[in-house]
């Protein structure tokens, strides 16, 4: 049984930080534009160091500060989006929160000048074609690597639910792909991408990473693309499963759930409890199903192996981490944001609704631009929805 249901444990108050990757697009056509260098030059202090280049010059990444309070993180993410969005406008571009480019980016994307990216292009060839996808990464402060690896083992079964919650990339190459998260499909082509295996220890984890390096399959530790991993350069456990969220509030809901999930798992780890048994093949199948169906479809209950409505699985996750959310004071905010998401529809559902009107990606681009800048709403307690 998870410690979230025992009511006997005090949960650690973990720090959190969020990295968001965005596309830069032409505001008229929705096509990606390689404007990242110009946008970064137009961002003034003190944000300069918190806005980073990405693989393609039509991408840009923002880094939140380290937070312990979810409301402070909420303000931080909203301010980052507004500041970078304004800089993009001054550069003649538009900041867009979507997991994939609406009109695609066939062939090799315009790479950010970097010796590492050039090496990746030479080694992996056409694997880079069509890349330039955007995700949201949540870092949770767990400095002890042994604990971080063991927490990773405990949270694996919930990765598909986190993917479904944030699915925001159904449109690519000018059409509906049939997937709620096409980003997840494109990203899964990398040899080290996917839900991680279960590790017996940090030593086991390091041995697997060394074997991947020795095999030449990955170039460096930064290419460990498992959907949850101990960071190779920070004292954190990094959750990498999500599409870039359509709104700042949806990123906040993700961060709150992830922190509660990590805190719940850490209590169990410190009690010496084993992780839930999850077959790797079934976990990968559940992740594919989440990327395909998103929130509005069905998922796989990894505790039973049976299909279930994805919102029912979201409710199961919320119950799993409820005690941690209560203790951190995040339960009301996270529940309210999930209820709003359920009423409004997922990012993928909203993209599809905009696309169905005229089958014109410019309609989707306008929606995405508006959502990217959307100001977080005031909270109104709402008991209906995610249960």
Residue 8's pLDDT band (boundaries 50, 70, 90)? very low
Q: In terms of C-beta density within 10 A (0-12 exposed, 13-18 middle, 19 or more buried), how is residue 235 classed?
A: middle
Q: In terms of C-beta density within 10 A (0-12 exposed, 13-18 middle, 19 or more buried), how is residue 253 classed?
A: buried
Residue 107: predicted pLDDT: 85
Three-class DSSP labels, 235-274: CEEEEEEEECCCCHHHHHHHHHHHHHHHHHHHHHHHHCCC
Residue 375: predicted pLDDT: 79
Residue 1: predicted pLDDT: 34
- Specify the 3-state DSSP secondary structure of 346: coil
Domains of the chain: 3-372 (3.30.590.20)
Question: Residue 378: is its pLDDT beyond 80?
Answer: no
Give the H/E segment covering residue 159.
Answer: helix 159-166
Mean pLDDT of all residues in 323-350: 97
Q: What are phi and psi of 168, to 5 degrees?
A: -155, 45
Residue 361's pLDDT band (boundaries 50, 70, 90)? very high
pTM, full prediction: 0.94
The tokens 């009301």 sit on which residue? 332
Q: What is the pLDDT of residues 258-303, one digit of tens each?
A: 999 999 999 999 999 999 999 999 999 999 999 999 999 999 999 9
Pairing of strands 94-96, 59-63: unpaired
Residue 310's pLDDT band (boundaries 50, 70, 90)? very high
> In whole numbers, what is the pLDDT of the chain averaged over residues?
93
| CB of 18 closer than 8 Å to CB of 77 | yes
- Chain centroid, CA 368 distance in Å: 17
| CB of 245 closer than 8 Å to CB of 168 | yes
Q: What are phi and psi of 192, to 5 degrees?
A: -105, 10
Mean pLDDT of all residues in 199-223: 96
Q: What are phi and psi of 145, to 5 degrees?
A: -65, -35
Residue 44: predicted pLDDT: 80
Residue 9: predicted pLDDT: 59
CA pair distance 292, 294, nearest whole angstrom: 6
Q: What is the pLDDT of residues 123-164, one digit of tens each?
A: 999 999 988 999 999 999 999 999 999 999 999 999 999 999
Residue 384: predicted pLDDT: 40
Q: What is the pLDDT of residues 53-97, one digit of tens each?
A: 999 999 999 999 999 999 999 999 999 999 999 999 999 999 999
Lowest mean pLDDT among 46-55, 137-146, 205-214: 46-55
Question: Residue 381: is its pLDDT beyond 80?
Answer: no
Question: What would the two tokens of residue 264 be?
Answer: 């719940």
- Chain centroid, CA 157 distance in Å: 16
């Amino acid at each position: 049984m998870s410690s979230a249901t025992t009511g006997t444990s005090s949960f650690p108050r973990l720090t959190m930080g969020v990295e968001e990757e965005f596309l830069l697009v032409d505001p008229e056509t929705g096509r990606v534009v390689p404007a990242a260098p110009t946008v970064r030059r137009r961002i003034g202090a003190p944000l300069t160091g918190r806005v980073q280049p990405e693989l393609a010059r039509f991408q840009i990444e923002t880094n939140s500060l380290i937070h312990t309070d979810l409301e402070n993180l909420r303000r931080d993410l909203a301010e980052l989006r507004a500041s970078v969005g304004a800089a993009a406008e001054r550069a003649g571009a538009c900041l867009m929160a979507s997991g994939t480019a609406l009109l695609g980016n066939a062939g090799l994307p315009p790479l950010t000048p970097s010796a590492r990216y050039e090496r990746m292009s030479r080694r992996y060839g056409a694997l880079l074609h069509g890349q330039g996808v955007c995700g949201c990464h949540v870092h949770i402060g767990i400095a002890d690597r042994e604990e971080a690896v063991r927490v990773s083992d405990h949270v694996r079964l919930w990765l598909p639910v986190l993917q479904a919650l944030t699915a925001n990339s159904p449109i690519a190459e000018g059409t509906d792909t049939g997937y709620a998260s096409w980003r997840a499909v494109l990203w899964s082509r990398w040899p080290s991408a996917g839900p991680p295996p279960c590790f017996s220890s940090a030593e086991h984890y390091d041995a697997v990473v060394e074997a991947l390096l020795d095999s030449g399959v990955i170039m460096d530790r930064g290419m460990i693309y498992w959907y949850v991993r101990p960071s190779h350069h920070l004292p954190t456990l990094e959750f990498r499963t999500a599409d870039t969220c359509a709104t700042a509030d949806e990123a906040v809901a993700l961060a709150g759930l992830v922190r509660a999930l990590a805190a719940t798992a850490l209590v169990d780890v410190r009690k010496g409890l084993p992780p839930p048994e999850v077959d790797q093949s079934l976990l990968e199948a559940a992740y594919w199903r989440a990327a395909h169906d998103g929130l509005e479809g069905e998922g796989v209950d990894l505790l039973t192996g049976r299909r279930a409505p994805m919102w029912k699985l979201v409710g199961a996750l919320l119950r799993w981490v409820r005690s941690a959310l209560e203790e951190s004071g995040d339960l009301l905010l996270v529940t309210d944001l999930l209820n709003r998401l359920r009423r409004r529809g997922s990012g993928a559902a909203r993209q599809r609704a905009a696309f169905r009107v005229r089958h014109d990606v410019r309609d989707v681009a306008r929606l995405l631009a508006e959502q990217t800048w959307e100001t977080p709403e005031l909270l109104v307690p709402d008991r209906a929805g995610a249960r």
